[in-house]
Structure 1
Amino acid sequence: MPKGSNQKFKLYRLAQIMLEKTDEDHYISMPEIKDALAEYDVTADRKSIYNDLRDLSVLGVEVEGEPVGNRYHYHVINRTFELPELKLLVDAIQSSKFITEKKSNALIKKLETLVSRYDAQKLQRQVYVSGRIKTMNESIYYTVDAIHHAISENKKIKFQYFQWNVKKEMELRHNGAWYHISPWGLSWDDENYYLVGYDSDAGMIKHYRVDKMLHIKMSDEVREGKEHFKKLNMAEYAKKSFGMFGGKEQTVKLRVHNKLAGVIIDRFGKNVIMIPTDEEHFNVNVDVHVSRQFLGWVFSLGEDIKIVGPDEVVEQMRREIERLGKVYCKENKAEE
């Protein structure tokens, strides 16, 4: 049998064929394997293919043969990822607000190469499940990489920060001034990615939406603020910050209806201590950064939750309710 021009790629092409064309429910026969190799200009006899199928295990591709009548057919039995695992990854990518639609599709296409073409179709169907709003900043992936690189090099970073204006245009904050920050970590909150870093000029920890950072570059200066982050638990920090908005950290006492127990646990974790006050309510102390976002979260839960202490936080809530009341009263009078 004359050899094809791509014989040196024989084992690689065989692995490619088996991974693409077979799975737990789809098999391929020996004649079909030979035909598929021929499409890559690779020739092989039955005996050499038997040996090659065994050798594929060295590459981490396990192939099993099963008898059908007086013949055998073959399929891959183990893969790095199972289909349900990849579906979870696809859903995570699709639901991630900070990943653009273009990049989401590109990442999912790469995940499809990890399964057979039949299972890839099942992943493709997943892509169209959601019409979630996605970020429009394509550079976010490089920004994240630059942040991690600066952290590993123990260096500060410089970047510009933008916001959207009413014309739907990027508008640089602080007239385009460069932010000079010591990066210490990345945090995920409310479907957004945040840089958590130390601002030396302000002498405090701050956080920034990664998808709103532009033109990031690593500085020659060594990071500062280590003493602040030694005692900072990043997971706890994110849990205390509602929507990653800052505010004075305080222990707030809440009186909560029993039906909101799940809401409290989802937000603050199972370790919170819920003390029954009567048959329908409990008190819980939570450590939070008291901001309008926190007050808004409490307000959104209605009459089933109430801030009962400290007094200054109760007063903040009263003032916020009064402020909003005035806003809506003014609007109603204007409409009349």
Structure 2
Amino acid sequence: MTKPPSGERLLKLREILFNETDETNELSMGEIIERLRQEFGPGFEFEQRAILRDIEDLTNQRFEIFVTRGAAGKKYYSHKNKRFEQYELRLLINAILSARFITKKEAEQLIEKVKGLTSKHLAAKLPNPTHYESSIRSTYQQLRYEIDQIQIAINESLKIKFQYGKFDIDKNFVLQRNGEFYEVSPHALIWKNDYYYLIGILNGEEKFRHFRVDRMRNVQCTEDFFFKADINISDYINKSFNMYAGKEQWITLKFKQSLVNVMIDYFGLGADMKKIDEAFGWLRVKANRSEGLVRWLLNWGSDVKVLEPRDLVEEIKAEIQKMNQTYE
């Protein structure tokens, strides 16, 4: 019988305790030795004294190992202090599951990696990707690499070039501008409505535009430097509706009080809001005037009424008339 190298034995012991033990699952010394034999194969000898030294060494390396006593004083060993709490891993997996820009295969691979951050017993209790599949997922395999290119360009204030497109009625992806490249000064990469968006300024323009990253193709980082605009991105995003760019404008709304939380979700607790009567509330806030804003307002039907500005009121009325004509 031969003894395995002490370093390999220690690493394998750490792996066994991490993967197979937690708050409710422990291993006895005999079970640890049996697991080591399974890992190293027949012909290897494992002494209890050597394993106890390994346990002491791991503890000194801040890999905390708990020892409890069972019946007849039998000792059991476990590693309970995982890098992440169970609820934290669940949050990470739910974020992966809701991200439509990630392909199904990539989502499954990422979730398996996340599950590897805890014991196999606790991992079995985490969400299964096959049970939470989104109806729409990206099929563009290069996306993960292009996100890195975009982030590098943002960090180094370099312009990027890319093609942009969308699906047609036959579900074919068609490039816009006959495949011509867009040249953009990228300011921020944000995750909104389960998609990644690039916020940037197109060459020759001054206002911000939004680009769905999963609709971008052949992203290239150029050597052209640009000066970033002085803008609070978080504030800008909060004023954008469904990631439509537009001119900032004061709007005043009358809304049913049942929508108070909807208003707070979109405009934040800092929005100027007050009670009109027992049924309605009043709201005044700055928002980006865009198609997204109009569609969001129409979504609430008669429960929300635009009071100001007047031109937005007229735009809403015109859209309602078009809807009426569609159904006549």
TM-score normalised by the shorter chain: which range applies?
over 0.9
Q: How many angstroms apart in 2 are the aligned matches of 1:43 and 1:20?
A: 22
Q: Which residue of 2 aligns with 1:84?
A: 87
Distance apart, 1:279 and its partner CA? 2.7
On the 8 A contact 2:157/2:225 being kept in 1, the answer is yes
Following TM superposition, where does structure 1 have runs of at least 4 consecutive aligned residues deviating by more than 4 angstroms? none
Distance apart, 1:308 and its partner CA? 0.5
Distance apart, 1:58 and its partner CA? 4.2
Q: How many angstroms apart in 2 are the aligned matches of 1:148 and 1:85?
A: 25
Go from structure 1 to structure 2 and tell me whether the alpha carbon gap of 1:52 and 1:7 turns closer, same or farther (over 3 Å shift): closer
Q: Which residue of 1 aligns with 2:243?
A: 244
Q: How many angstroms apart in 1 are the aligned matches of 2:62 and 2:188?
A: 35
Q: Percent identity?
A: 33
Task: State how 1:304-323 maps to structure 2 within 5 Å.
Answer: 304-323=303-322
On the 8 A contact 2:2/2:45 being kept in 1, the answer is yes
Q: How many angstroms apart in 2 are the aligned matches of 1:236 and 1:105?
A: 34
Which one is further off, 174-183 or 39-48? 39-48
Q: How many angstroms apart in 2 are the aligned matches of 1:8 and 1:101?
A: 38
Q: What value does the CA root-mean-square deviation take over the aligned residues?
A: 1.6
Task: State how 1:171-210 maps to structure 2 within 5 Å.
Answer: 171-210=174-213
Q: Which has the higher helix share?
A: 1
On the 8 A contact 1:197/1:207 being kept in 2, the answer is yes
On the 8 A contact 1:20/1:115 being kept in 2, the answer is yes
Q: How many angstroms apart in 2 are the aligned matches of 1:71 and 1:216?
A: 61
Selected match of 1:57 from 52, 56, 59: 59
Q: Which residue of 2 aligns with 1:254?
A: 253
Q: Which amino acid aligns with 1:201?
A: G
On the 8 A contact 2:200/2:209 being kept in 1, the answer is yes
Q: Which amino acid aligns with 1:74?
A: Y
Selected match of 1:107 from 107, 110, 113: 110
On the 8 A contact 1:187/1:234 being kept in 2, the answer is no
Q: Which residue of 2 aligns with 1:3?
A: 3
Q: How many angstroms apart in 1 are the aligned matches of 2:296 and 2:234?
A: 19
Q: How many angstroms apart in 1 are the aligned matches of 2:62 and 2:156?
A: 35
Task: State how 1:250-289 maps to structure 2 within 5 Å.
Answer: 250-289=249-288
Q: How many angstroms apart in 2 are the aligned matches of 1:237 and 1:135?
A: 26
Q: What SS does the aligned partner of 1:49 have?
A: helix
1:227-251 CA-partner distances (Å, limit 9, x unpaired)? xx31x22122222211111233211
TM-score (norm 1): 0.91
Q: What SS does the aligned partner of 2:187 have?
A: strand
Distance apart, 1:222 and its partner CA? 0.5
Selected match of 1:170 from 158, 161, 173: 173
1:202-254 CA-partner distances (Å, limit 9, x unpaired)? 23211100111111111011024x2xx31x22122222211111233211100
TM-score (norm 2): 0.93
> Between Structure 1 and Structure 2, how many residues are aligned?
323
On the 8 A contact 1:100/1:135 being kept in 2, the answer is yes
Go from structure 1 to structure 2 and tell me whether the alpha carbon gap of 1:251 and 1:146 turns closer, same or farther (over 3 Å shift): same
